[in-house]
């Protein structure tokens, strides 16, 4: 999404940071941004912003929904800061370890 919604000449930065709880992945872009009234919907399946057709968006609206599901399954959190025409910052925090169910029980 960061690449898709950032125009030519814009910038997409990716950072991976160690934090006390585990790791933080941050993707920041100088792209189209997301309007405040659309922010509550960004993780909904098949949801695409009102400006999507005019901004090279040919996707299904599943990307952020899938990302949130994966982050949730790993016990992490995802946060988005954005404003229309101001770019977007997505931050994902993942814990050092998680409990994983397996046929033999639970392992950490």
Q: Please say whether the beta carbons of 33 and 42 come within 8 A.
A: no
Cβ atoms of 68 and 43 within 8 Å: the answer is yes
Q: What is the mean pLDDT of the chain?
A: 82
pLDDT at 17 over 60: yes
Of 47 and 73, the one with more pLDDT: 73
pLDDT digits (tens, 9 = 90+) for 79-104: 999 988 899 999 999 998 765 555 65
What pLDDT is attached to residue 3?
Answer: 86
Q: pTM here?
A: 0.76
pLDDT tens digits along 33-52: 888 888 888 888 866 665 55
Residues 5, 31: contact at Cβ < 8 Å?
A: yes
In angstroms, the Cα distances linking 10 to 13, 28, 70, 88 are 10, 11, 28, 12
Select from 93, 4, 85, 91 the least CA-distant residue to 48. Answer: 4
d(CA 8, CA 29): 12
| Site of tokens 């920041």 | 28
Residue 58: its pLDDT value, please? 61
Residues 24 and 38: their CA atoms lie apart, in Å, by: 25
| pLDDT value, residue 44 | 80
């Amino acid at each position: 999404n960061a690449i898709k919604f950032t125009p030519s000449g814009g910038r997409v930065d990716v950072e991976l940071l160690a934090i006390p709880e585990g790791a933080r992945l941050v993707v920041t872009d100088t792209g189209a941004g997301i309007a405040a009234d659309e922010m509550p919907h960004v993780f909904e399946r098949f949801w695409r912003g009102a400006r999507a057709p005019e901004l090279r968006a040919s996707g299904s609206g599943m990307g952020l929904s899938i990302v949130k599901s994966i982050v949730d399954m790993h016990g992490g959190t995802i946060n988005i800061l954005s404003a229309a025409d101001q770019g977007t910052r997505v931050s994902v925090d993942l814990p050092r370890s998680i409990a994983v169910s397996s046929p033999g029980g639970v392992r950490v």
